[in-house]
Homo-oligomer: A and B are copies of this chain.
Amino acid sequence: MREDDRKSVRALGLFRDMTQENFDALMTAAYLQRFPAHVELIREGDSADFLYVVVDGGVELFSTSDGKETTLAIVSPVSTFILAATVKDLPFLMSGRTLVQSQVLLIPSVDIRRIFGTDDKFARAIVTELAQCYRVVVKSMKNLKLRTAVERVANYILRLNIRAGRDGIVTLKIGKRNLASLLGMTPENLSRAFNVLQSHGVSVDGVHITISDLDKLAAFAKPNPFIDDMSS
Q: Is A138 among interface residues, defined by CB-CB distance under 8 A?
A: yes
A-B residue pairs in contact (CB < 8 Å), sample of 13: A63-B226, A64-B146, A65-B226, A69-B146, A70-B145, A72-B141, A72-B142, A88-B128, A90-B135, A117-B124, A127-B130, A137-B138, A144-B144
**Which residues 77-109 of A sit at the B interface, judged by CB distance below 8 A?**
83-85, 87-88, 90-91, 93-94
Q: Is A21 among interface residues, defined by CB-CB distance under 8 A?
A: no
CB distance from A45 to the nearest CB of B (A): 6
Q: Per-residue 0/1 for A147-162: is the Cβ within 8 Å of any B Cβ (1 yes, 0 no)?
A: 1000000000000000
Interface residues on A, range: 35 or more
The answer to whether A44 touches B226, judged by C-beta atoms less than 8 angstroms apart, is yes
Minimum-distance CB pairs A-B, first 5: A130-B130, A84-B131, A70-B145, A65-B146, A137-B137
A116, B138: Cα distance in complex, Å: 23
The answer to whether B232 touches A68, judged by C-beta atoms less than 8 angstroms apart, is no
Q: Per-residue 0/1 for A196-212: is the Cβ within 8 Å of any B Cβ (1 yes, 0 no)?
A: 00000000000000000
User: Contacts A84-B131, A84-B134, A90-B135 known; A142 to B63 CB distance under 8 Å?
Assistant: yes
